[in-house]
Chains A and B, each alone.
Chain A
């Protein structure tokens, strides 16, 4: 009893502290939100506010919800998604918003942190629903996305995940995705390796603790076998490993012609550096997680000639991409990655669906999804199947003379 009393006192004090903190927190948020979503468009937002109060009915706000990790080890993914979406929303609002019927909608984004965990994703989604979101752009990571698909299907709300690449992310009719799925990417890379590059003996190094990496590797190996090739070595590591000498030594002992690394650039940096230290001269191929690798390698020669599938590459000379990268760098002093590009496309997809549907009702938006064509950063004329998968061409990027370049067909 003694200890209980002791605790009660501290508990009460703590709740007091907390409630006062949340008090100012939410106030802050309210004032911050509009400036955040329309940073450079103060004038525009003031105008719309005035219009709302005076004329009403002509303009309205359309609230898009987003979820992704803003804290924790995967924070960079969620931050990119949030910022990419904000750039798109700013552009759309600057250009006068989205016109649906007689009403002009300005877009707004409410983004909640899910720490890339499943339980927090559910909390984040429910918090967004409390705020009255009309469309969900999320989640960012596969597990978190799968955890909320049941709920979005129940609510019948349109869900577009920019980067949830597991097949289960779009298992319901209301869910769509922008990125390629893991199996799609693995299969495409295998086809490319065998058909275009002409390799028959491949080695694979993948992260067996990551659903993304393991999913791609599995599909890749299956497709290689189906194409009549041979996987001579399939080596795995665990997220966070920095020493890959064991795996590389094993591969060195085989007659592999190429090494496939479906992983993120941080891992790729270590692997390619250690391979070059060991005197291995095998070429590398990779997945879209490679984007950004040139910024982290100490010597670009270690990744020279590597080819990876990529829906988006910030350093590529394409007018749309250049404009996006400039806007992003101006706003956040960072180079956008594929997550930001996927989110950017997701927002434009929502805009296209609203215009096609002529309504903002979830049912109409979902029905419109299969009828629209979006010209995005991650693909030209993207269309969506009823299953929710995007139909777009996969692009390959080669590292040549220390620069990213699209592989010419």
Chain B
């Protein structure tokens, strides 16, 4: 009963968001700045949700998410530039292939994951992301430092439906996984590694699985990114990008998909909304970031949550009577 109600609410939210954006787009109420923000927001939501699987639910810190994204982006862009099929067929193949290549990389990085935990793993993923970037920079087929340009813009705001559906798929995959038996195993590994192992959970298998799925989804996000911007350069996939995604996940509350989504939306839109502040834009952005993090952990916030929980308890008690 509870689950069905939750599902219904989520479906309604998705439809309302979609309808609202479509109406705004078609009625011309959105200005160009906001219109061009739509796809970056969706891309960042996909990236944040996929990273949330590793950082939030598996409980391992990774700093190489931009590496997976760049693999997807480059694979997708190369395919859609070179395949002789109609654009949408190429894009479909690009999305699948982009995800798969990133997933293979996820499997490769998953192997050291078996031996490392915590800070050590974070450094390994950081190195891995930089290796991917350096390789892309050195290859001829990727255009080196000059990058790939002339990619058809198949995922810009004109194709919102496609981007929205992809974003939904990513969210549904992660949330369904988390609510499944596998997801509970992943969370158990986060909560207590030794206890999980003692209960017979094949820890290494689930860790690799989480990495592969997360990388696959980041790869898809990369393909969408590439077909929105139209040009790819290796410099855009450095560790700063990885950290930006990580900030979204941390701000959204580790292990909360909804939180990650909202944080991704806010953090993507915020620098654009602050354009009016001219020279102080990045300063204000940083201050807002700090303020949001402080508020999240403040006593005031804790009190608010306690109050809310109390109400829920009282409601439950009443129903019990």
**Which residues on A are within 8 Å of B, measured CB to CB?**
2-11, 13-15, 17-19, 21-22, 25-29, 32, 70-71, 112-113, 117-120, 122-123, 126-127, 129-130, 142-143, 146-147, 150, 166, 168, 207-211, 213-215, 238-239
- Which residues from A are CB-within-8-Å of B301? 6, 9-10
Evaluate contact between A118 and B288: CB separation under 8 angstroms: no
- Which residues from A are CB-within-8-Å of B282? 71
- Which residues from A are CB-within-8-Å of B32? 126-127, 129-130
Q: B38 → chain A, closest Cβ, in Å?
A: 11
Give Cα A172 to B275, complex, Å. Answer: 29
Tally B residues with Cβ within 8 Å of A: 60
Q: Which of B184-192, B194-202, B203-211, B232-240 contacts A (4 or more CB under 8 A)?
A: B232-240
Q: Is the interface of A mostly helix, strand, loop or mixed?
A: helix
- Which residues from A are CB-within-8-Å of B225? 119
| Chain B, 207-260, CB within 8 A of any chain A CB | 225, 228-236, 252-253, 255-256, 258-259
Evaluate contact between B36 and A118: CB separation under 8 angstroms: no
- Which residues from A are CB-within-8-Å of B259? 3-4, 7
**Which residues on B are within 8 Å of A, measured CB to CB?**
31-33, 35-37, 40, 134, 137-138, 144-147, 149-150, 153, 225, 228-236, 252-253, 255-256, 258-259, 262-263, 266, 270-282, 284, 288, 291-292, 295-296, 301, 304-305, 308-309
Q: Contacts A7-B253, A25-B274, A127-B272: A118 and B236 contacting too (C-beta < 8 A)?
A: yes
Q: B295 → chain A, closest Cβ, in Å?
A: 5
Give Cα A3 to B261, complex, Å. Answer: 13
Q: Pick the contact of A7: B35, B288, B296 (CB < 8 A).
A: B296
A-B contact count (CB 8 A): 154
Q: A372 → chain B, closest Cβ, in Å?
A: 29
Q: Pick the contact of B146: A10, A119, A166 (CB < 8 A).
A: A166
Evaluate contact between A214 and B145: CB separation under 8 angstroms: yes
**Most chain-A CB neighbours within 10 Å: which of B35, B233, B270, B280?**
B233
Which partner residue on chain A sits nearest B144 by CB separation? A214
Q: Pick the contact of B281: A71, A210, A215 (CB < 8 A).
A: A71
Q: Contacts A4-B259, A117-B236, A215-B146: A25 and B36 contacting too (C-beta < 8 A)?
A: no
- Which residues from B are CB-within-8-Å of A127? 32-33, 272, 275
Evaluate contact between A147 and B276: CB separation under 8 angstroms: no
Give Cα A155 to B272, complex, Å. Answer: 22
Q: Enumerate 22 A-B pairs (CB-CB under 8 Å) in ascending A order.
A: A3-B259, A4-B253, A6-B253, A7-B256, A10-B295, A14-B295, A17-B291, A18-B274, A25-B284, A29-B276, A29-B278, A32-B278, A118-B230, A118-B231, A118-B236, A120-B271, A126-B31, A127-B33, A130-B33, A150-B230, A215-B146, A238-B134
Which partner residue on chain B sits nearest A212 by CB separation? B145
Evaluate contact between B236 and A25: CB separation under 8 angstroms: no
Evaluate contact between B36 and A122: CB separation under 8 angstroms: yes
Evaluate contact between B308 and A18: CB separation under 8 angstroms: no
Evaluate contact between A168 and B149: CB separation under 8 angstroms: yes
Would you list the 6 A-B pairs with minimal beta carbon distance, nearest first? A26-B276, A25-B277, A25-B276, A126-B32, A211-B146, A3-B253
Extra 20 A-B pairs, beta carbons < 8 Å, given A6-B305, A211-B147 = A6-B304, A7-B256, A10-B296, A14-B288, A14-B295, A17-B288, A21-B277, A22-B277, A32-B278, A112-B275, A118-B233, A119-B225, A127-B272, A130-B31, A130-B32, A142-B146, A143-B231, A146-B231, A210-B145, A239-B235
Give Cα A207 to B31, complex, Å. Answer: 39
Evaluate contact between B278 and A25: CB separation under 8 angstroms: yes
- Which residues from B are CB-within-8-Å of A14? 266, 288, 291-292, 295
Evaluate contact between A4 and B258: CB separation under 8 angstroms: yes
- Which residues from B are CB-within-8-Å of A214? 144-146
Evaluate contact between B263 and A7: CB separation under 8 angstroms: yes
Give Cα A209 to B146, complex, Å. Answer: 8
- Which residues from A are CB-within-8-Å of B284? 21, 25
Give Cα A123 to B292, complex, Å. Answer: 24
Q: Pick the contact of B33: A29, A126, A207 (CB < 8 A).
A: A126
Evaluate contact between A18 and B273: CB separation under 8 angstroms: yes
Q: Pick the contact of A147: B31, B144, B231, B263 (CB < 8 A).
A: B231
